[in-house]
Amino acid sequence: MSIRLRKFIGTVLLFALVIVWALLAMALAQAPLIHNNAIASIAYYVIAGLGWVLPAMPIMAWMSKRTDNA
């Protein structure tokens, strides 16, 4: 697979990941424990805001992997 196609697919996957992650984070933020407690809200938003990076790391690694078949 060419690097150009790999980067395109990875970009689409990252875009979809961020959209789904944001929608799930917004839905979970409405839980009474998170919504009614300031400390829980801060902790939740920090974790949810940075949490998308972990699933994105393998996609980024795959996108930048070189193929030595040239």
Encoded tokens for 26: 């917004």
pLDDT in tens, 17-30: 999 999 999 999 88
pLDDT in tens, 53-66: 999 999 999 998 87
Q: Is the pTM of this model over 0.75?
A: yes
Q: Can you give the pLDDT at residue 3?
A: 86
CB-based contacts of 13-21 (< 8 A; 24+ apart in sequence)? 13/59, 14/56, 14/59, 14/60, 17/52, 17/55, 17/56, 17/59, 18/52, 21/48, 21/51, 21/52, 21/55
Tokens 């790999």 identify what position? Answer: 6
